[in-house]
Amino acid sequence: MLHVFESDHPLVQYHLTQLRDKNTSPVEFRALIRRLSSLLAFEATRDLAVRDRSIQTPLTSMVGSELAAKIALVPILRAGLGMVDPILDLIPAAEVWHLGLYRDEATAQPVRYYNKLPQTNPVDVAMVLDPMLATGGSATAAIESLTEWGVRSIKLISVIASQEGVDAVVTRFPETQIFVGAIDPELNAVKYIVPGLGDAGDRTFNTLRYLE
């Protein structure tokens, strides 16, 4: 797939293995999400446009570079929140816009409950952040909202994906770039990624006990 990038970097695979482990604590899980977000964002930003910037070093003048595009980070609530800060550290001037989507457990379809994207003046590049790309429903709904805003370049960054979810996004929005740490082969009967890592939101925010 032309616009799908599955990382084979040793550090990504190392941290992802720890992330999958059911014995990893919420504290370490959050730290691993941050590390993986930074590593995946490094790849996702490789083609960002730059322009010349003249500066004065302690020794002489020189021409360096600055980002030329207006960039937005768009986390899908709530699990995507854990990916914002590490990427914002890399792109401090980025805008942050939130989209609220959850999966209806009966239908496995996305339900939109929060969208404050402006009506005009879209960014040049939007990065949709969601640790898990399962059915692709939430991702495609987010990309649809950004497309309606007028964003021309959209990148989806997920720590882990299912093949079904990747296929859903590619089919609906073939120009969207997808960056993932791993693509797992299947979803189970309740649409969880297998082998996966469980529920990223509950593991990030330490709410698993409420599901027991």
Residue 184 annotated to the active site: no
Q: Does residue 199 have an active-site annotation?
A: yes
Which of 78, 112, 167, 202 is labelled catalytic? 202
Residue 202 annotated in active site: yes
Question: Which of 20, 30, 103, 172 is labelled catalytic?
Answer: 103
For residue 75, the cross-strand partners are: 129
8 A C-beta contact, residue 128 and residue 87: no
Coil, strand or helix at 6: strand
The residue from 51, 107, 120, 209 that is catalytic is 107
- Kindly write down the DSSP assignment for every residue of 139-175, as one continuous string: HHHHHHHHHHHT-SEEEEEEEEEEHHHHHHHHHH-TT
Could you give the dihedral angle defined by the CA atoms of residues 4, 133, 48 and 5, in that order, rounded to the nearest 10 degrees?
A: -20
Catalytic annotation present for 104: no
**Rounded-to-integer distance, Cα 99 and Cα 84, Å:** 13
- Please answer whether residues 51 and 186 qualify as being in contact, where contact means their C-beta atoms are separated by less than 8 angstroms: no
Beta carbons of 147 and 123 less than 8 angstroms apart = no
- Cβ pair 153, 44 in contact under 8 A: no
b/e per residue 162-181 (b: at least 16 CB within 10 A)? bebbbebbbeebeebbbbbb
What positions carry a catalytic annotation? 103, 107, 199, 202
